[in-house]
Structure formats: C-alpha cells, structure tokens
Chains A and B, each alone.
Chain A
C-alpha cells in the first residue's frame, strides 16, 4: 500500500516536473511577446530602412518592389537612376508603412547590357542603392517558362527517387547490418 502510494506520487511528480519547463517556456514567450520583461531600446533619431527587393526591366521602364524593413513609416521622396534625379509612379502610396511594400514604376530609357544604379532617397535623407551589373529584359512569365521549371523539378527531384527505387530488390537481399549502414549513410548524405 505504502509502496503503491509512493509509486503514485512518483508518477505525479514526473508529470509535474515534465510540465514545469513547458509552463515556464510559455510564460517567457508570453512576457517577450507582451514586451513586459524587455523594453525595446527606443531612440528619437529617425531610423529608416528600405529594401529594394526586385527590379524588373521592361522596355523603357523599370518596375521596382520596395519593402520598408525599418522600425518606422517611410516617405519616399526622390528616386535617382544612374545618379540623376528621376521620377515615376509609386503605388499604393509614397508613404510606406512599417513592413509594407510599394511598387515603383519608372519610365527610363535604359541601355541593354550596361550597368544601372537605382537610388531611393527618403524624406529624412536616407539613401538606398541597388546596382544591376548588366541590364537585360526581364522575361515575362509564360506557361512555357513554368513548364521549364517543372522539368527542372522532375529532373532533380523525381527521377533520382525512381532510380533509387530500382535498388529496392537488391536492398531486400542484404544483411540488416549493411542495411543499417546504408540507411545511416543516406541520412548522413541528406544532412550533408
């Protein structure tokens, strides 16, 4: 009886002890999420960051995707192409909210094969640059292109698996020691 009770206690103890770290983890996550424990360092200086994510080159036109990855809203004030003040359209707004995106369309007579530099200047004078080493037309999306990508996928992802399947009868015949070796070898390769 005594032993049973202690065994019962032991079981509860184990459950509780396994739960405590989990509860603590949730607590920590909660505190971090609510910003209770850590006060994020603040500054009165404006800090701005814009990522020029993508530049699509169309005939006589650049289409640029901008991401505001900084802590504040950012107002795009000027755009320079090859260091000259240029301009264009920006949508949905020239004020990009935090973590928001904007699409910039710039009419520009770019020259094929030559480098191109795009500079964004914000209302607070922050400057962000992206260089294209050699300007070429961005191919438009087509089903043929999609087909190509599917083919690549088939070549590198599906065909090797089928080739591997061919080994199955051979693998069935080998000893479990060798089988384990091959399995761990494969796992190692995958990790590699």
Chain B
C-alpha cells in the first residue's frame, strides 16, 4: 500500500514536471511572439475618419457587410437613428416644436381648455433597430406637450387603453382628487382631471401607479407648460424631455435620449437662425439615474428654474437636473456653424443623449 502511494506520487510528480516543462516552453515562445507582433504592428496610422472631437463616436449601428468595404481604414457606414419611434406617430423633429393647445370649449358657461390623453402599449424604436415595449400617452415617449395659460381652467380627459391600471399625476397646484394618485384608473376606464392652471412655469406629468419606477421607465410621462398671462418675449420655442430606456429591464438604462430616440438630433440636426432667440423647455424624466444634465457648446444660456419666474437665476452653459426637475433656457447664437448639445455626463452622451444645432445666416 505504501509502495503504491509512493509510486502514484512519483508518477504524478513526473507528469507535473513534464507538463510544467512543456507549458513553460510553450508560453515562453508565445510571449516572444507577442513582443514581435507589437514591433511589427505599432505604431498604426490613426484612422482618418475618427469622428467628432468630443471623444464619442455617435451612433454607428450596423450594416450587413459588403465585403469590399471591410477594412480598418474604411469608415464604417453609419446607420442613422430612426426618423420616428413608429410609423404612425409624430417624429421627434415635429415633437420638438409641437405644443398641444387643446381645444377651448364653453362648458356650461365656463371657458375650459380641453385635452385628451390615452394610455396604450406600443413597440417603439428608441435607438437604431432597437425596439422597446413601451407604455405610452398617445403613442409616443415622451407623451404630448400640453400648453395653456395661467388662470385657465384645464380639463384633461384620460382614457386608459392599456391592460394595466394607470393615472396621470400633474405637477403644479390643484385639489387632492386631481392629483392622480389615489384614483387608480383601471384598464378600459377613464377619468377627467380638471383644475385651474397655476402657477405659470414648466411641469412634468406622469403616471403615479405602483410600482412607479416601472410605470415611468415604461414611458408614461410628458410636459405641461403654463404660460404667464403676459406672454414671454417672442422666440423660437422647443421642448426637450431628457430620458432613458432600460431595454433589457435590468434596472439601468441602456440608452439616453432627448425626446425619445438615441442620437436623433445628431443625425437630424436642429436648424436655427443666427441671432434668433431660442427658448427651450427642458424637463428631466430620466429613471434609475439620479441626475441628468444639459450642456450647450460655444454659447451661454439664461436659466429659469421651473420657469416660475421671469427673471433668470443663472447665466451658464451647463445645468444639472434631478429626476423630475426642469426649467427654461434662453439663448441665441453669435456665430454660424454646427454646435453640439449633450449631457455633460459623457456616459449619457455616448449612449445617445447628444444632438446638434445647425446655425445658419
């Protein structure tokens, strides 16, 4: 017995020794190879098509390979962002400057501004070729931008066309039963929210059904703008809702966007006139990440937090917003050309939250 174990031991040692010997020779020669390879290949010429100078390559996406084009020195063909989230809905370019003014009606002698919002599920394209099973207000994420004037009575007729219960919770001042929290609207049912629009400013609205994280991450939110009675100075106005999409539902966003499609305004730049006053209603509805931000290139803007004052609080080129935070920015361009705007968290910028202004004379 003793002899046997000894033998086993010896044989094992022998095998080990041979193995280590062989492996070290093998590895040694591999390492030598590696060094040689480095000497052979470096330095390489930098590809001439290195893209935008902020260190991010905006949305390449994919193309089926055309064998002739495959080369390190050939630029990869860019797949543009989709023009809209789905064929029948408003595209982000129109969404940018579209304000739903509702319909002013006479309701028993009372002047009421009436809007309609329906919730229903939809598969939307949130980045080139990436489909997301969203819950939407009126088919898009973000939902429509509602707009009214301070002091008006507004009425929002809500119809839940989804298979899940939902609500609409508006920010602003209104009675308890108009807050969209305790009155859960079952599938197929509706609810009418009616209140006096106050104060003036920019407000998010969103579903407030538990689990709220899910209902917001799925896309049930939008913007309500209440204009001051005395209108703001004439300007080219836009709405930008910053958000994220968690396409694999692991509790973190894969894509970040303004107005719902990654890299959209990079592939379809926003054309603005030199010197023209631009006013952007900016809302952060990003879920999972605590903050988001907006950075404007080669310019500064006046910042009106929440839009609740006509006096700006800051003259800056970057604002940081918490979840649900918002404000109004005003600026005009002094020079023509192409200027980026993006989240100053580079990670968000590189995952779709980036765009471009094209300033023309």
Residue positions of A touching B, CB distance < 8 A: 58-61, 75-80, 83-94, 105, 107, 109, 121, 123-127, 136-137, 139-140, 142, 144-145, 148-149, 151-152, 155-156, 159-160, 185, 189
- Least distance between B51 CB and chain A CB atoms (Å): 10
What are 11 pairs between A and B in contact, CB < 8 Å?
A60-B72, A77-B130, A78-B130, A83-B350, A85-B263, A85-B351, A87-B61, A87-B62, A89-B63, A94-B62, A121-B248
User: Once the chains are docked, how many angstroms separate the CA of A92 from the CA of B351?
Assistant: 26
For the complex of A and B, list the 3 residue pairs with the smallest distance between their C-beta atoms, beginning with the closest: A87-B60, A125-B247, A155-B22
For B78, give its contact among A75, A87, A152 (CB under 8 Å): A87
User: Once the chains are docked, how many angstroms separate the CA of A151 from the CA of B22?
Assistant: 8
Say whether B167 faces chain A, with CB atoms less than 8 Å apart: no
- Least distance between B198 CB and chain A CB atoms (Å): 40
Say whether B88 faces chain A, with CB atoms less than 8 Å apart: no
For A156, give its contact among B22, B44, B130 (CB under 8 Å): B22
- Least distance between B26 CB and chain A CB atoms (Å): 4
Indicate whether A140 sits within 8 Å of B37 (C-beta atoms), given known contacts A78-B129, A87-B76: yes
Say whether B58 faces chain A, with CB atoms less than 8 Å apart: yes
4 new A-B contacts at CB < 8 Å, known A127-B254, A145-B33: A78-B130, A87-B62, A155-B21, A189-B11
In the complex, chain A residues whose CB is within 8 Å of the CB of B25: 148, 151-152, 155
Is the pair A149, B26 in contact by a Cβ cutoff of 8 Å?
yes
Give 1 or 0 for each of B1-40: 1 = CB within 8 Å of chain A CB. 0001001100100110011011101100110011001100
Say whether B131 faces chain A, with CB atoms less than 8 Å apart: yes
A155's closest neighbor in chain B, by CB?
B22
In the complex, chain B residues whose CB is within 8 Å of the CB of A144: 29, 33
Is the pair B47, A107 in contact by a Cβ cutoff of 8 Å?
yes
For A89, give its contact among B22, B70, B254 (CB under 8 Å): B70
Is the pair B21, A137 in contact by a Cβ cutoff of 8 Å?
no
A87's closest neighbor in chain B, by CB?
B60
Residue positions of B touching A, CB distance < 8 A: 4, 7-8, 11, 14-15, 18-19, 21-23, 25-26, 29-30, 33-34, 37-38, 41-42, 44, 46-47, 50, 56-65, 67, 69-70, 72, 76, 78-79, 127-132, 247-250, 254-255, 262-263, 347, 350-352
User: Once the chains are docked, how many angstroms separate the CA of A84 from the CA of B72?
Assistant: 19
User: Once the chains are docked, how many angstroms separate the CA of A189 from the CA of B347?
Assistant: 55
B350's closest neighbor in chain A, by CB?
A84
User: Once the chains are docked, how many angstroms separate the CA of A56 from the CA of B294?
Assistant: 37
Indicate whether A148 sits within 8 Å of B26 (C-beta atoms), given known contacts A60-B72, A139-B37: yes
B44's closest neighbor in chain A, by CB?
A59
Indicate whether A77 sits within 8 Å of B72 (C-beta atoms), given known contacts A84-B350, A91-B67: no
Give the most central of A89, A142, A148, A159: most B CB within 10 Å. A89
User: Once the chains are docked, how many angstroms separate the CA of A148 from the CA of B34?
Assistant: 13
A128's closest neighbor in chain B, by CB?
B248
User: Once the chains are docked, how many angstroms separate the CA of A189 from the CA of B4?
Assistant: 11
Is the pair B34, A139 in contact by a Cβ cutoff of 8 Å?
yes
User: Once the chains are docked, how many angstroms separate the CA of A90 from the CA of B29?
Assistant: 33
Is the pair A121, B254 in contact by a Cβ cutoff of 8 Å?
yes
A125's closest neighbor in chain B, by CB?
B247
A159's closest neighbor in chain B, by CB?
B18
- Total A-B contacts with CB atoms under 8 angstroms apart: 153
Indicate whether A139 sits within 8 Å of B131 (C-beta atoms), given known contacts A60-B72, A91-B64, A105-B70: no
For A61, give its contact among B37, B72, B254, B263 (CB under 8 Å): B72
User: Once the chains are docked, how many angstroms separate the CA of A76 from the CA of B263?
Assistant: 18
Is the pair B26, A152 in contact by a Cβ cutoff of 8 Å?
yes
User: Once the chains are docked, how many angstroms separate the CA of A93 from the CA of B76?
Assistant: 15
Is the pair A92, B47 in contact by a Cβ cutoff of 8 Å?
no
User: Once the chains are docked, how many angstroms separate the CA of A80 from the CA of B250?
Assistant: 16
User: Once the chains are docked, how many angstroms separate the CA of A144 from the CA of B35?
Assistant: 14
- Least distance between B213 CB and chain A CB atoms (Å): 17
In the complex, chain A residues whose CB is within 8 Å of the CB of B18: 155-156, 159-160
B131's closest neighbor in chain A, by CB?
A123
A104's closest neighbor in chain B, by CB?
B62
Indicate whether A125 sits within 8 Å of B131 (C-beta atoms), given known contacts A148-B25, A148-B26: yes
Is the pair B62, A90 in contact by a Cβ cutoff of 8 Å?
yes
In the complex, chain A residues whose CB is within 8 Å of the CB of B255: 85
Is the pair A127, B248 in contact by a Cβ cutoff of 8 Å?
yes
Indicate whether A148 sits within 8 Å of B30 (C-beta atoms), given known contacts A78-B61, A91-B67, A91-B70: yes
In the complex, chain A residues whose CB is within 8 Å of the CB of B129: 75, 77-78, 94, 123
Indicate whether A137 sits within 8 Å of B41 (C-beta atoms), given known contacts A77-B62, A124-B131, A127-B250: yes
A58's closest neighbor in chain B, by CB?
B72
Is the pair B350, A85 in contact by a Cβ cutoff of 8 Å?
yes
For B76, give its contact among A80, A88, A126 (CB under 8 Å): A88
A76's closest neighbor in chain B, by CB?
B62
For A87, give its contact among B22, B79, B250 (CB under 8 Å): B79
